Amino acid sequence: HYIYVPTGYSGYFNVQTDPVPGVAWNLDLYFDDGGDGHFDGQSTETFTYAQDTWILVEINYDLDAGFGQVLFDGVLVLEFVNALTIGGIDYYGSDSGGDPGAYFDDVCFGPGWVITGIEDEGAIAENNTTLFPNPATDRVTIRSNNIIDEVLIYNNMGQLVFSGPVNDDQIMVNTSTYVTGMYIVQVRTGTAVEVRKLIIE
């Protein structure tokens, strides 16, 4: 996900170990006013960050190996031993070092997802796959340089809203019944899987 903390404000989120909110915490991240921050829970390390700009925060867990990582804009900030389960994630403003007030966007959960931004001309183009128009309203075309085996589309709740075999280099998907918001598109071509962000307006 992305976080934006304006000057004069602070932000916070945590990963909980139990599906019941407020029982136990796996990891806490405090983004204090002034650009300083700290972890709580399994680590008490500190960090710095830039206010007044969007920051990509990634938390990677390997539950089998008992290991976790936190990255800011692709840079490793923390590695920790994780013997705990993951029950949920909690976002809200924190009054640690500033008035509560932070923004979160593009929250995604999944195995190895890489979310790319939307280019100015309205298409996402990286490696082999493009989506257009993007943002879309009633339809979106998914095109690849390779033969597409399958397309899966998930809403922002992680629910599968479209699944279909393709066996062609492009497919047009009717999105007229989709609610507005962000969707994740998985495009399978041979042994490769590309993931794209789709916005429905």
The residue extents of the domains of the chain are 2-105, 124-200
Among 83-92, 124-133, 134-143, whose mean pLDDT is lowest? 124-133
pLDDT in tens, 11-62: 999 998 888 888 888 899 999 999 999 998 878 889 999 999 999 898 888 7
pLDDT in tens, 19-28: 888 888 889 9
Beta strands 99-100 and 9-16, pairing class: parallel
Tokens 């070092």 identify what position? 97
Q: Class assignment of domain 124-200? A: mainly beta
| pLDDT for residue 111 | 61
Domain 2-105 has CATH 2.60.120.200: yes
- pTM to 2 decimal places: 0.56
How far, in Å, CA of 2 to CA of 103, rounded?
8
